[in-house]
Chains A and B, each alone.
Chain A
Amino acid sequence: QQPVQSPQAVILREGEDAVINCSSSKALYSVHWYRQKHGEAPVFLMILLKGGEQKGHDKISASFNEKKQQSSLYLTASQLSYSGTYFCGTGTTSGTYKYIFGTGTRLKVLA
């Protein structure tokens, strides 16, 4: 089952903040975040390996609540370059290692 992301879409003005949530019905061993720009391949942003872990670089950060089986991606002071579709991905370790991606969140930043 795919993790569910919310919101499905969001429009921001430059400089505004956004939060994208990812919820799974199954236990999460790790959470990955990717961004895909239109017509391009998804690109890795960060991975969170432990419950409660928070990571970030530049003005994009993420948290991982293992108990709630949730992760959130925080975009601060958004820039035009942040536009794209964001996917959370869960790594599973049941036999075969594979990536199951969330439903996606389309983010558009306007000038």
Chain B
Amino acid sequence: ETGVTQTPRHLVMGMTNKKSLKCEQHLGHNAMYWYKQSAKKPLELMFVYNFKEQTENNSVPSRFSPECPNSSHLFLHLHTLQPEDSALYLCASSQVTENTEAFFGQGTRLTVV
């Protein structure tokens, strides 16, 4: 256990569905991240939140919509996804301080059918 919990662990959804991924951390961190991990691009940064404010959107399509209601929770809302969006989605957290480590959740394995 790394202190970062992601749910669900596995998700299968149709292209017309709407679903949400959840990430929760109890480490007192104030930065949270979404990464996409696929065979083609091992660990691709999607979004960064510092103190609940989005500070980075790495040109992610609008069918992915992040939400950070507080420093401990992060969501990724999904709608009208494509099969190529199938991947492992990893959440991470850290302090907003230079040069500290990131803690990762175990990820949500998403399959879009």
Q: Is B truly associated with A?
A: yes
Q: Pick the interface stretch among A16-24, A74-82, A95-103.
A: A95-103
Counting CB contacts under 8 A, is A32 at the interface? yes
Rounded to whole angstroms, the CA-CA distance of A61 and B106 in the bound complex is: 25
* Interface pair B90/A44, CB less than 8 Å apart: no
Q: How many residues of B contact A (CB 8 A)?
A: 28
Report which residue of A42, A85, A100, A101 has the largest number of chain B beta carbons within 10 angstroms of its beta carbon: A42
Q: How many residues of A contact B (CB 8 A)?
A: 27
CB-CB nearest in chain A for B49: A96
* Interface pair A32/B101, CB less than 8 Å apart: yes
CB-CB nearest in chain A for B103: A44
Rounded to whole angstroms, the CA-CA distance of A99 and B16 in the bound complex is: 32
Besides A100-B45, A104-B42, 13 other A-B contacts (C-beta < 8 A):
A41-B4, A41-B105, A41-B107, A42-B104, A44-B103, A49-B99, A95-B55, A97-B50, A97-B97, A99-B45, A99-B94, A99-B102, A101-B45
